Structure formats: C-alpha cells, structure tokens
A and B are shown apart, each in its own frame.
Chain A
Amino acid sequence: MRLKTITHALGCLAACCLATSLFAEEPAATQKPLDPDHAKKYAEGLKLFKGKVRPLLMDRCGSCHGVDVIEGELDLTDREGLLKGGATGPGIDLKKPAESYLMRLVTHKEQPYMPYEEDKLLQAEIDLLQKWIELGAPYDKPLTEDKIAVIPWQERKVGNDADKFWSFQKLNVVDPPRFTDDRWAENEIDSFILAKLGDKELAPNDRANKRTLIRRAYYDLVGMPPSAADVQSFLNDDDPNAYSKLIDKLLASQNYGERWARHWLDVARFAESHGFEQDYDRPHAYHFRDFVIQALNQDMPYDQFVRWQLAGDEIAPEDPQALMATGFLGAGVFPTQITANEVERTRYDALDDMAATTGNAMLGLSVGCARCHDHKFDPIPQADYYRFVSTFTTAVRSNVDIDMTPKETATKLAAWEKTHAPKESELVAFEKNTLPGRFENWVASKDLTNQSMLAETDWILFDQITAKSKNGTTLTRQADGSLLAGGKNPNDDVYTFTSQSLIPGQLISAIKLEALVDPSMKKQGPGRADNGNFALSKIRVFVEKLDGKDRRELKLIEPEADFQQNTASLSIASSLDDDPKTGWAVDPQFGKSHWATFAVTTETSIKPSTEERLVIELNFQVNTKHAIGRPRLSYAVKPSRPSADGKMADLSILRAVSELAEKGDVEKLNEKTRTALLDHFRRQDSEWVALNDAVQKSLATKPKPNLTKMMIVSEGVKPIRHHTQGADFFEETFFLRRGDNEQKAGVAEQGFLQVLMRGDSTTDQWKVEPTSEESKFSYRRTSLANWMTDTQNGPGHLLARVIVNRVWQHHFGTGIVSTPNDFGVQGQKPTHPELLDWLAQYLIDNDWRLKPVHKLIMTSAAYSQSSQFDKEKAKADLGNQYLWRFEPHRVEAEIIRDSMLSVSDTLDETMFGPGTLDMGHKRRSIYFMIKRSQLIPFLQVFDSPEPLVSVGGRPATTVAPQALVFMNSPYVREYATNFAKQLLGTNATTEDIIKGGYWQTLSRDPTPQELAATAGFLDAQTKSYTDEKQSNPRELAVTDFCQTLFSLNEFIYIE
C-alpha cells in the first residue's frame, strides 16, 4: 500500500560510472591517477567474488533481484545492474563502503531489512560483502546467463486466461431447472433454490403465515412495522393476490426509497463532513442522499443510476438530479489542512478514494489494492490502476448554485415574458419616438443651472475624494457615499475627509453627519466600541485652497441630533466644545443609525470657488476605540438649515448641469452625462413614469430560478478549498512506482481494467471526446460510465451481478455471494451461481429496474417460507446457505429508531433537505446529518458503520450497551411516553391497553400468559408509583410497559 517497504525497491546500488573504470568514483575531470593498488585490489576482489560472494548473492539475493524476478527494479546479476541500481539513488558508496545503502539494509540499520522477510545475514557474510565492496565489487561473469526480459510494468498485460474467473465471465444463459413436483415453487427463483436443496437432500419450509409475511414485507421494504389496521386489512383480504398487491403497494410507497437508500449510502461511504483535522461540514452534500432516495422511488434504471453518479454533470448538465448524483464521487474523506509536502500525495489519496469506492460499490472489485503493486489476487496490474484512476484527474468537489426545477422555471418565465414584452416595447417606443423631442425642448426652455436643480434638494452628499485616518483605520467608500471603517481599531482617531465643491459659488449653510449601522460592527454599531457605541469629541469644517493653503474654519452652531446619550458630557453640543473628553454618544440606542446636523454661522460661511476644497474632520478622543464605524457627511446651501430627513441631491445631475453650463450644448455632453440629464428629465415626465412603473412592476414579478446550493463533483468548477499549501488538483496523473508520488514513471492516460475489456476491445471504443476546445469537461468520466454499463464488451454483466446480489443480500440477510464488495478471487463464491446470473439477466431485461427484482424475490417461495428452525436440516446446512428456511435477523439501527417513532405515532414524515445532528428530531433516521466526528451514538451502538470506505454489509452484534439504550436512553423513554399517552387516550381497560400495545408493535394479540404477566406488572408498577405519590402513576406504568415492548426481541427481529 505504501512506500516504505518499498525502499526495498530502492536500488541498493550506486550509479557511479564504474562500468569502464573500476575506481572511477573520482570525477573524471580531476584526472587523478588511479589507486596504485588498483590491479591488486581487483584481483583480490575477483577472487572473493568467485569463491564466496557469488554463492552468497545467488543464495540470498539473486532470486528476487534478477534470477527469477526483478524486485524494486534492481537487477544484481551483473555489475552493470548492480551499479545502475534500482528505482532510487546510490546504494553503494565506494568511498565509505560501510555506509553503503546496501550495507545499511543488510546490517538492519535501516528498513527494509534485507534479505527481505528472511533471516539476517551472518556477521561473517556481512563482513564479506563489505570487504568485496571495499575492493571495488568486481564480477567475473553474471550470476545467470539468461537475463530476464523486462517488460516495463506500465505495459504489463494480463494473461489470456485472466477472464476465466467466474465473475469476469459473461452471464451464463440459464434456464431455471424443471421439476416434476414443484408445488412449493412460486417462480423461477424457487426452481434454482429447489435444485440446490435437492442436492443436499433438504426440503424447504412451508409458507410463513400472513402475519409474519406482512411484518417481514414492511420491515424489509419500508423499514417500519405495519400498523394494526394494515395487518387487519391484510388478514381479511382473501384475494389470492393479496400478498402480491401488498408488495406492489409497499414498493410504490415513498418510504421504500428512504429505507433502501440507506444500503447504498453505506456502500457509497456517504457522509456530510470532510473528516480529518477540523472535520468541517459539507452542508450541501445532503443532495446526494436525496438523489438516492428519489432514484429508488422513481425506479430509475440501475445503469442510469450508475452513469449519473460517475458523470451526471457531463451526461445531463441541465438536470439537477444528475448533478446531485455526482455527490457519490465526492462523499469520501478529505483533509482540510494540507502541508506543502502532502499536497500531491493527498490528491492521489483522493483519486484513490474515488476509484476504490467505484470499484467496490459497482463492480465488487478491490481496484485500490493495485496502487502499490500488481493486485495480489485479481488480474489487475498496477498500471491498470493508474489508468483507471486517471479518469478522475480533473474532477473536484465544488459547491454550486443549481436551479432545482429548471423546467418549471422555464415554463413560468415563458408565461411571464408574454405579459412583460408588450410593456417593455411600449416603453421603448415612447423613449424612441416621443421622449427625445420633449427632452430637447426642456433643455432649450429651462434655465438649467445648479440653482434650479438645487431648488429640489436639501442636502448634497459630501462626496469624499480622500478619506484618511490618523491612526491606521481603513476607510472604504460604500455605494451610498458613506465610509466603512475596518481593520485596526485604534484607541483614538481623527478622520479627515476632503472634497472639491461641486457647486462653486454657493454659500454653505449647514452640515449633516450620519452614523450608520453595519453588520461588520458589534451589535451593528453604529460605533466601533464593543457595545456598539461611539463618542465624537469634535467635528470641524474648513475651506482651503486646492494646495492646502489659506485654510479657514467654518464655525458650527445650533447642533441637533436624533438622540444623545445625555445632555452634558455626551451630548451633541459637547462635540463642538474643545474638551476632548466630551462628545456626542448614543448609548443605549445601538443597532440603529443616528444623525446630527449643524448650522454654519453666516459670518464664517463662505462660497467656495472652483479653486478651493472642503475639509471635514471628525475627532474621537472621548473614550478608547469609540470611533464612528460608518459615517456619511452632507451639507446644505439653502439659506436656512433643511430638516435632517430632507432630500439628498443627485450628484450626477449636479455634475451634468455644471458640465452643460460649461459646454453650452447638450450635443457636446458626453454620453454618460447626457444620460444622467435625460434620466433626470424623464423622471419628471408623467407619461414616461407611468410606462416605466408598469415595466418595473412587471420585472419585480419575473420568476426566479429555484436556486439551491449543492455539492457536486465536476470539472472546470471552483474547488472546495480549506487550508492547503498547494494545488487542489493536477492536470495529469502519473504512474507511480510503489505508489510513491516521489517516484513518477510516466503519464497515465485514461484506461480501463484489461480483464474487463472483452476480446479485442480497447479503451478507445468507450471514449467520448470533448465537443469543443472550450468544453470544461474532459468526458473521461462519461467514458468510464460507457464502459461500466456495457454488457457486451465491458463489465456490465458484473455490474448487474453485483447489484442483484446486494438486493438479495438485504432481503435474505446474506447475498448469493456473501462478500458483496468482493467478487474477486479472494471473495466468496456464489452459493447459487446460475440463479445469480439468471437474476442479473432478469434485471437487464427489465430495463435495469430494481423494483421487478424486489417483487420477484419477495413473491418467491424461498422468501415467503417460514423461519422455523429444524435441528436435522441444520445438521446438513447449519448456516442455511441453501435457504431451507427464511433466516431471521435483527433489523438495522435506523429501523429500530424509526419503528419506535412510528408505533408511538410521533414520526415526522417530512422528506429530503438538510439533516440534523439533533437526536431529538422526529424524522426518519436517514435524515440525521452524518458528521464524521459526531456520528450518532444511538445508531452506532446498533452497528451503523463508520462512513470512511465502502461498506457492503453490517454486522448485527448483540452487546450490553444496546440493552442500556432500551433501558435508559432518554429518547427511548420519550418514545415510550408518547406511545403510552396514545394508548391511554384510545383504550379504557388495562386489557385493551395491553392488546393495543401488542397489536401496534407485534401485530398480534398477547397470549393469555403474556396478558396475565403484563397486567400484573402494570398493577405492581402503578401501585409503586402511587405509593411514591407520583402525579401520573398509571401513565408511568404504561410507559414502562411500552418501553418493554420496544425491548422485545420480537419487535426488532425480522422473522
């Protein structure tokens, strides 16, 4: 799996250029003379080799390194191979023989210890090797004469007989066996079952009774027990097809998808968080769960179900369901904190997760086992793995906004267009034909001066050209002309705003300061203090020359504000005095905007010229960190101060008029200015206003797409990214020697598993190329989907076998192949291979629909037989592999909880949407959010798996913590309380209560024994609670009884 051992692969030996000259470890350039003892050493070394080293190498090293196989790419049969070394750096160091990598491995100073997984060399042998290296490691001749022809591993082919293994073969065309006496049999399945039972001289059980059948069917298909009424009506239905009708009804129920989706979610290692260090949520991942439920309920053909999960984004990009399906690929774990060293390996891990899950889930093959070496058991060369993985090279998780109902949106839009278009054209016609003339007249006739424009307005926005903070606050201009403070929040500060006057020649009469709220502040401000307050110690206004000279201050008087904290030191008036410790503040009116206005004394006021600018200063020294968080300033030029809520001037008009005055002709105005002026004019034209209002009103009713955020896996989208020190993905996937991303061995182009490409088929025949250069998709996953579902030349036959086996497994408790995720050589062989193939073909013939398969299985005699145990039969087939009875089994975690909710009549049947971690919720358990670090203990204790890798089936353990749940869990107690209230509400007598409880949980009357025991219990508990002076002794006693019913084996076993 990983690299370490693999250092085994390492080339033990050095790549110095000894081939020609023995001691050429001295760089040739230096031209140092050879060791004078060279010849002597050579002769000595050779003697050592012939006598002792050669036998040692042959005995302990050669078989793995050149004689039989070549491990680690190291061939030490001759000196050339020894010197060339293996996959990694120098192995022998002729200068420091003892430090040679080879020596470190054989002396067990470093791993992998050599000889690999064998006894260590004797000390004498180690000394010998070292001596030989010291003498230059000479060979007289190679260890073997026949060199192994090395086919690069990237090109390795599987053998011709690789596909002879049963699961790789095509489906056998089989006819169900025929019997002279097949009265037991209900359909073809039973013929196969009878044939096997016959071989073992076993007879199947009789049909189970109707009560058992309806309970079995309900638990199995919808995951909750039938109500008393359901059972009664089924028992009373004498129609011979009553059972068949029941199955149809349950398969049509929406609850079917909620029950069976859970099985696929286990296989898909589905969860809604990333796992690893922070385990961040994937709040938009639930769509995949919803997709699986919907697809099952719609009886979506299984091949389409598979295709969409692999490449729904490429195959049906407009269909939200197809996009939801791609969540399959992205459901695995992924680190959220990745160091630079780990970036590439992490990406290969992610590719492995997609490939391995695809292999296990869809083909029942452990593709992932070929990451570091050729698969040990199945005919999957390592190179096949990299070609297969290459499919996912550019696929990434992404959160995208998707219209969940695109068709409805389109229909609504079309209807709206019909009513909207005429209004739009009417306005356009008016603007084209009538408006220009009126505009020209207006321009010509009206005295277009600032004065006339200003007549309509009260305040002019102080349109800051510069905004500076003395102590490092950042001030960012907002669309409404305010400035948002951010970054540093210094103890005290001075904001300085500067602007050239837009209306030269007007006497400034008043100043307005607004302190606006903003979500970026605590309590939304309007101040930056921790409580949202501010304190303005002083406001000052100046006029100065553009170069900053000749500054004059405008004196502010008569301050007014909408609110002030007090009338003394924190009043609006105190923001005009010279005391820096007093000023305007607004505690406790936080979270709302405030304003203040000031008049300018006529003596000090001036008419700024075009050569001058206005400067406004806000000082904050009253209290630490008490600056205004989002100030906006404006001023007035009317002789008397306007009211604070007076109209704000349209700056663009003011600018336009100034420009017009300058240029003298509308035609000379630039487009922007002209438009501003026109806009101003038409707003006063009642006809235009009416037409425009109609259009605006209509636009407001324009249907919007039903956008929902969804996590998908796709290409050319923005990857979900957390704390990573590198790229999210790479454009190419490489063959990796030993699975080590430091050992790349060429680019791996997409390919499929050789053993599952029939005859002369090659990857190309399933390939889909991008339609254009601009296509954001590579269509590699579509190619994979094409191959996957090809029953003729691809693995479609295996795909069908694997899924019908899963369906069988969840009906009977065990699959025909009992290792549902492993159909390879290591997996179990099918108990009924012909039946498996026949069912797979049945699925394909039924357009890959699963519901007919469910129906066929559930209406078979094999499924409907009783679970009666029989010692004699068990002797012949203890594990019931051949199905002489229906094997009883405990229901799964989700069913336990859902059943308690259901019988206590508190189940919330809301389907789909985000899940929750709240154990108190009342929806079905499939709607728990699956957060990897906070799995639901209630479900875990009943064996719900960890969503880390594909899980093909769950164990059914019996451990005391499960009993503790039934006895002590506050949730079980709550369900029991609700159940008790309901029973008490509808039944009068103790006997009725007991019967009602039995019918709802166990679908039957209590036996006289049970009735007596329970009645005695109720009396005793009621008395005990009465003695304790509990206010509701009877309810408590019935609750204890209900809790007991939940705890019964009969309640949680399918029999």
Chain B
Amino acid sequence: MNLYQPLHRRQLLQRAGAGFGGVALASLLQQEQLLGAAPSVSRDPLAPKEPHNQSRAKAKRVIWLFMNGGPSQVDTWNYRPELEKRDGKELEGFDKNTGFFTGQVGPLMKSPFKFSQHGESGAWASEIFPHMSQQIDKMAFLHSCHTESNNHSPALFMANCGLPKMGYPCVGSWVTYGLGSESRDLPAFIVMSDPKGRGLPKGYSQNWGAGFLPSVYQGTWLKPTGEPIDNLKPPITMDVSQQRRQLDLMKELNQYHADQNPGEADLAARIESFELAYRMQQAAPETLDITRETKETQDLYGIGDPDCDHIAKQCLVARRFLERGTRFVQIYSGGMENERSWDGHKDIVKNHAGFAKETDKPIAALLQDLEARGLLEDTLVVWGGEFGRLPIVQKGGTGRDHNPHCFTVWMAGGGTKGGTSYGVTDEIGHKAVDDKVHINDLHATILDLLGLNHERLTFRHNGRDFRLTDVSGHVVKEIIA
C-alpha cells in the first residue's frame, strides 16, 4: 500500500502543516527508505489519510492508559472464586520458569481484595476501583490476553511494537503513519510518563519510537519536568514583535531564493513550516494549560487530590489534545519496576491499592468527560499492562510474579461494545484457555476500530513489508459494536 499519494504543489501549500508541523517529506519516502526512484514530489507525511475501510472506522483517536509493570488480572477485573477456595494450596505442575524469580515459587494466593458486580452488565470489579467500576458498562473486557515474554522490557516492546524485541515501530507510530494527523499545530502522537520521579518504563523511549518508520511518526514525549516540549519559547532576549520581525525577514530572504528556483516545492514547504512553528508556539502551551478548565471538570478528574493529582492532570491534558485533533495518546501509570509501578512482587495490597488510587478517579472521570462531550463514541480508550501476574504468591512476601499466560485488558468507546467480556482463563486465572487474545490480535483489533486493516498497513524496510502484527493477528470482532 502506498500511503503517500502525490500532491500537486498547490494542494501541498494548502495542506502545509497538516500535522505537528508536518509539511513535507522532501525526498520522497516511496516505501523503502526514502531516496526512492519515484518522482521527487514533496509529500506531507502527516496529512490526514483515509482509512482502508471507512465503514469500519468507528474510532478516530486512541488513548492508551498503560498500567506499567503488569497489573494482576485476579486482583483487578478477572474474578476467580476458585482461587479463593484453593488459597494456600500448591499449584501442581507449575513451571518455575514462568515468572521472573524462578526460586521464589509459593502456593496459590487468593486475592486480598473484595470483588463485586456492577452496572447492568454485572461485570466483576475489585474494590480497588470504586470509581471505574461505576463506568463498567462502558468497558469491553478481554480476559484472555497473553504475551510472549515474562520480562518487562521484551513484554513492553511486545505490547507497544508487536514483537518482543527492540527496533520496531510502536502502535502510536503505525496509527499516525496510517491515518496522519488531524491537528494543524499539535503533535499527532503524545506520550506522558510518570511525573513522580519513579522513572520511565523499561526500554525507555523505544516504547514510543518510530523504529524504521520516518521519525516524524515517533511519539512526542511530554517531559514531566521543565518545559514539556522543546523549543517552544523564543530566546529570552526576544519579544513577540522582535521575533515576528525576524520571521518576516527570513520569509522575505527565503522568498527571493525560492523565486529564483521555481519548481522546488520543498523550499515553499519549508517557508511555510516557520509560520506553522510560530502558531504552534501559541497552540501547544494553550492546550497544556488545564487551568482553562472549569472547577467542576477539575474536581471530576481529581485535580488537587494528592492521591491522584498527577494522573488527573495527565488525563485532562490528554483530553484537551484529543479534542484538538491529536491522534494517539499514551499515559503510563507507574515508573520503572518493582514498587515504582504495578509490578507488585512484594506486597500486592500495598502496590495495587496504591496505583489504583492514583488512577481510578481520573480514568473514570476521563470516560465520563469524553462521553459528556460526545467524544467517547469515536475515541478508543484502552486500559492494560504488558503482562499479568501469577495466581501464586511470590515467596518471601505477599506479592505476585510476572505471568505472560493471561491478563486482562479493557477497551471503551471508539466503536467497542461496552458491557461485554471476551475470552476465558482457567479457574484460577493462571492461563488463558479459550478465545485467547494474543497481543497481535489486540493490535489488529485496535487498528480495525480505526478502519485500518492490519494486513494492509505495511512499510517496506530492508526488503520486507513490515506490519504491526508481524505475520499474525485476528480482529476480535466480538467486542466491536
């Protein structure tokens, strides 16, 4: 598939700056890296593109709430009464290499949390989500997700990039590549990480990297401290009028040069890029400024609540970006590993209750707010981590080790069927049994909801047409409305 339709120069100028400064891919990017044999016409890498299948395109944008570290399915959304019954019993035939700590295999451990049913769907939720459980009818649960690694970083790469190794573009990059951006002056794909000094997810920026896709498709990481986006403020000695005068001179001098070089579309595109940049200087700070929201909205998210203020801010910023045309947002709950994220090896109560408290209210608010603004129907919300946790206790504490064999992900909005549940695990929540959902299936489903066919969304690199779903992937049609 060739996503780059040639544009005439006039079209190009009209479109200039369709994305976060997306103006032109000067040397063509005819699939295999650039410098192709195709005509040297400038193309806008971030111009909005038609999805493969307009009628299937229910979602226009995505927000992925990434519960970093691996939330435990049996302590969150996958209620397993049998586990309660077998509490303290050995799990026979257990492969000790399943988790990370092969020498700390303990007996089965019931969830320390109470579960109850909610909403019309009667879906089960753990008591640690008092707010989210009120929104449960918006959620479509995938209880049988499984992945290919029992180790954070490969599993994170798997969840984000479709393979348990480094070097491949992430979902957000693929989506931006496939659909372009709807915002003229904001990033198409943003990522927010833990602002409480607990670090970045393992593998760092590779989790939102564009891999071999052009770097315009990589996620813009909003830095948690200092200026969130680089180079948005003019030099300190310059005021607006002084910079405007400078840009006018630049434009004039560049224009003389362009006049002498007719036929060079790149030059015009680049002149335009400065104007766009000038506008971005205003648009981005405005979008980041949540004080423009009403007190009511701020309270709904939990702004000012010390337990969840940071995630509340991120969710609210995310909504502001999404409603202004940003295509893909990812928010990471938790930093690196162990106590710094949902990686509850030692004490599942302290760990999961803590991170639930940080996220429960803001995420519930986000769902409500999106719905109230009519955005939920075409905004896909995804909640999940890189793997699940074992139903057995990790010896030496009251926590759980990694489990690649099953975990729960839920989606809401964006054309999903709220109040449904798909996939079955065994009675103790150790392994997915029926209707298993591989990460490639999860990705195929996300793309499908956006109207993208995961087998047609390809990019040729070093002689191969790569896909987000590699050589696999089935759309889980059962959760699509």
Residues in chain A within 8 A of chain B (CB atoms): 1-2, 4-5, 109-113, 275-279, 333, 335, 337-342, 349, 356, 360, 365-366, 368-369, 372, 377-378, 725, 809, 813-815, 818-822, 824, 826-828, 831, 867, 869-871, 874, 878-881, 887-890, 932-935, 937, 940-941, 943-946, 948-970, 973, 1007, 1009-1010, 1013-1014, 1017, 1020-1021, 1024-1025, 1028, 1030, 1036, 1040-1041, 1043-1044, 1047-1050, 1053, 1055
Contact = CB atoms under 8 A, between A and B. Distances in A.
Nearest to A1024: B242
Given A1040-B246, A1049-B267, A1053-B266, 7 more contacts: A5-B472, A340-B102, A369-B464, A871-B263, A945-B212, A1010-B253, A1021-B242
Query: Which 4 A-B residue pairs are closest in the complex by CB-CB distance?
Result: A960-B21, A869-B263, A366-B463, A948-B167
Contacts of B235: 968, 970, 973
A285 to B, nearest CB: 16
A966 to B, nearest CB: 8
Given A342-B154, A955-B34, A333 B166 contact: yes
A350 to B, nearest CB: 10
A934 B206 CA distance: 10
B33 interface: yes
10 contacts: A366-B463, A821-B462, A887-B40, A956-B25, A956-B26, A957-B216, A959-B46, A968-B231, A1013-B249, A1024-B245
Given A824-B463, A967-B243, A1050-B257, A955 B211 contact: no
A339 B262 contact: no
A944 B215 CA distance: 8
Interface stretch (B68-76, B273-281, B310-318, B370-378): B273-281
Given A943-B214, A967-B243, A967-B277, A954 B205 contact: no
Residue among B19, B210, B247, B257 with the highest chain A CB neighbour number at 10 A: B257
A831 B37 CA distance: 8
A813 B28 CA distance: 11
Contact of B273 (A369, A953, A962, A1007): A962
B152 to A, nearest CB: 6
A954 B98 CA distance: 41
A869 B265 CA distance: 11
Residue among B41, B42, B436, B471 with the highest chain A CB neighbour number at 10 A: B471
A275 B206 contact: yes
B214 A951 contact: no
Interface in B398-439: 434-436, 438
A415 to B, nearest CB: 51
A967 B24 contact: no
B187 to A, nearest CB: 9
Given A276-B153, A822-B32, A963-B276, A958 B23 contact: yes
B210 A946 contact: yes
Given A962-B273, A1048-B254, A967 B266 contact: no
Interface in B44-60: 45-46
Interface string B219-246: 0000000000011111101110111011
Contacts of A965: 231
Given A333-B166, A828-B32, A2 B463 contact: no
B422 to A, nearest CB: 12
A827 B33 contact: no
B264 A879 contact: no
Given A957-B26, A961-B231, A337 B153 contact: yes
A932 B438 CA distance: 28
B261 interface: yes
Contacts of A889: 26-27
A940 B215 contact: yes
B470 A1036 contact: no
Contacts of A934: 205
A869 B36 contact: no
A969 B242 contact: no
B17 interface: yes
Task: Give the secondary structure class of B's interface.
Answer: loop
B447 interface: no
B165 A955 contact: no
Contacts of A1: 163, 470-471
Contacts of B35: 809, 813-815, 818, 820, 953-955
A957 B46 CA distance: 11
Contact of B434 (A5, A109, A333, A831): A109
B242 A946 contact: no
A1019 to B, nearest CB: 11
A948 B211 contact: yes
A1018 to B, nearest CB: 9
B269 interface: yes
A955 B257 contact: no
A356 B154 CA distance: 20
B146 to A, nearest CB: 10
B256 A955 contact: no
Contact of B464 (A276, A366, A1036): A366
Contacts of B41: 878
Nearest to A966: B274
A959 B463 CA distance: 27
Nearest to B200: A933
Contacts of B28: 879
B302 interface: no
B100 A339 contact: yes
B368 interface: no
Contacts of B262: 869
Contact of A955 (B33, B231, B232): B33
B149 interface: yes
B97 interface: yes
Contacts of A826: 460, 463-464
Contact of A960 (B280, B436, B438): B280
Residue among A276, A828, A879, A1041 with the highest chain B CB neighbour number at 10 A: A276
Contacts of B163: 1-2
A794 to B, nearest CB: 20
Contact of B263 (A874, A962, A1049): A874
A958 B257 contact: no
Contact of A822 (B150, B250, B277, B463): B463
Contacts of B443: none
Contacts of A1040: 238, 242, 246
B318 to A, nearest CB: 20
A910 B234 CA distance: 32
Interface in B198-212: 202-206, 209-212
Nearest to A933: B204
Contacts of A366: 462-464
Given A277-B202, A1044-B253, A959 B216 contact: yes
B458 to A, nearest CB: 12
B215 A945 contact: yes
B263 A2 contact: no
Residue among A360, A818, A874, A880 with the highest chain B CB neighbour number at 10 A: A818
Nearest to A275: B166
Interface in B113-147: none
B287 interface: no
B3 interface: no
Contacts of A1050: 254, 257
A537 B27 CA distance: 78
Contact of B204 (A109, A279, A340): A279
B270 A4 contact: no
Contact of B151 (A339, A815, A932): A339
A164 B246 CA distance: 60
B276 A960 contact: yes
B300 interface: no
Contacts of B152: 277, 337
Contacts of B37: 814, 818, 828, 831, 879, 881
Nearest to B169: A946
B249 A113 contact: no
B110 to A, nearest CB: 26
Contacts of A337: 151-153, 202
A377 B32 CA distance: 15
